[in-house]
Amino acid sequence: MKLFIPLLSMLFIGTGVLPCYANSDPTPTVNTPIVNASVKLQALEQWIDEQGKSGQLSGTFLFAKKGNVLLKKAVGKVHPDQDKAIVLDSSFNIGSVSKQFTGMAVMLLSYQGKLDYDASVQQYLPEFPYANITVRHLLNHTSGLADYMDLAEEHWNNTIFTNQDMLNLFVKYQPSLEFVPGSKFAYSNSGYVTLSAVIERVSKMSFAHYLDKHIFQPLNMKHTKVVNLLSEPNLLPSRVYGQNSDGLDDLVYLDGVSGDGAVYSSIDDLLKWHYGLLNNKLLPKELQQASITPTTLNDGSLFHYGFGWFIDRKSPFIVAHSGGWVGFISYIARNTKSDEIIVFLTNKVGGVEFEDLQKRIFSAIDANFGEFE
């Protein structure tokens, strides 16, 4: 799940220049701008450390450029009631950042000839009560579906809520669509949970198994899995827990669903994801382009969202997404032209204003993330 934080731009830290995954010359020419940048990064790292030590900030942060990790840091605690420290391999609930993995799973099924973006959802989920909603509508947040959380709040009993439970509520109550499918953009978690159900029905695998087999394992993302209240205990030993100023702020009864969230990942794994996409390891480049192509609405106008990515209006090679759920806030931004990526994963930001955090980060790094800065 579940919430996205519009245009959250991002954070980063570290000291050295560490080799990464791309082919590039890691040795910069020493000059005044680089010296100034180094001073700024050191000041940023010191500030992050101070916030971590005071208990105001907990998370991991990464910035990489042209194959070099320039900023990398871990601060805070895995759990508010434990002394275990967060490390660079810690896995966080990435909230709506998960949607890009749901999008990729749909794209892979399309590549395998098992799914058509423009087919009615009813072709794959016959019980789905809206004949005029397509898979593409779900991917692009243009379906008009009601919010499943509102449905659950009104009609559910607070036991663990699953994808099938969501579908059952839509079938039983058939809430009116908020608009004609394709006529406008309205961010929809319901759409991405429905996509998870489509993926399971078409692939004949659980959503978690499909992502693990076709995305996480091929990219060697060892600290990334779908984790929710239905998962086996200790499925992901590197997971951390959401927190707030009062203590634990972690999974709730709605966390039996998947597709709109539920992926846990680490900063290094998301760096592998970046290079997996950049180097077309999962899909041919021309097919992958669909994920970062703006949505065309019924009237021919564009909305700059693809399949799990917001897209910069002036520089479409820059994409980003944020996520927020319970105690977690996450963010990823990628410049696919200049090979730059920012990732931050937190399980507590109670004492830090997000706007202040963004300003500090972007003032300290030499990068181009367009309108997401």
Task: Please write the tens of the pLDDT for every residue from 82-119.
Answer: 999 999 999 999 999 999 999 999 999 999 999 999 99
Buried b (16+ CB within 10 A) or exposed e, 319-356: bbbbbbbbbbbbbbbbbbeebbbbbbbbbbbeebebee
pLDDT-derived band at 365 (thresholds 50, 70, 90) equals confident
pLDDT of 3: 56
How large is the average pLDDT for residues 324-343? 95
Distance CA 132, CA 239 (A): 39
pLDDT at res. 15: 27
The domains of the chain, with CATH numbers, are: 18-372 (3.40.710.10)
Query: What does the pLDDT average to over 365-373?
Result: 87
- Mean pLDDT, the chain, as a whole number? 90
Compute φ and ψ for 330, nearest 5 degrees.
Answer: -135, 160
Angle formed by the axes of helices 163-173 and 148-155, nearest 10°: 80
Distances (CA, A) of 329 to 108, 110, 156, 165: 28, 31, 26, 26
Helix (H) or strand (E) holding 270: helix 267-278
Q: Does 163 have pLDDT greater than 80?
A: yes
Structure tokens at 182: 């394709």
* For residue 65, pLDDT beyond 60: yes
Tokens of 77: 């605690």
CA distance 361 to 203: 41
Asked whether residue 310 carries a pLDDT value surpassing 80, the answer given is: yes
pLDDT on residue 12? 29
CA–CA distance, 289 with 279 (Å, rounded to integer): 12
Q: Can you tell me the distance from the alpha carbon of 356 to that of 368, in angstroms, rounded to the nearest whole number?
A: 19
In this prediction, residue 35 carries a pLDDT of: 53
Q: Which residues contact 303 (CB under 8 A, 6 or more apart)?
A: 140, 142, 184, 185, 294, 295, 297
pLDDT at 235 over 50: yes
Residue type, 122: Q
Q: What are the backbone angles phi and psi of residue 353, rounded to the nearest 5°?
A: -75, 135
The CA distance from 208 to 231, in Å, is 9
What mean pLDDT comes out for the span 274-280? 98
pLDDT band at 362 (very low <50, low <70, confident <90, very high): confident
Burial 66-81 (b: 16+ CB within 10 A, else e): ebbbbbbbbbbbbbbe
Query: Encoding tokens for residue 171?
Result: 């079938």
Flag whether pLDDT at 26 surpasses 60: no
Alpha carbon separation from 122 to 19, 167, 182 (Å, rounded):
47, 12, 16
| % of the chain at pLDDT higher than 70 | 90
Residue 4: its pLDDT value, please? 52
Amino acid 21 reads Y
Q: Is the dihedral of CA 98, 180, 185, 132 positive or negative?
A: positive
Facing residues of 75 across strands? 59
Q: CB under 8 Å to 158, separation ≥6 — which residues?
A: 253
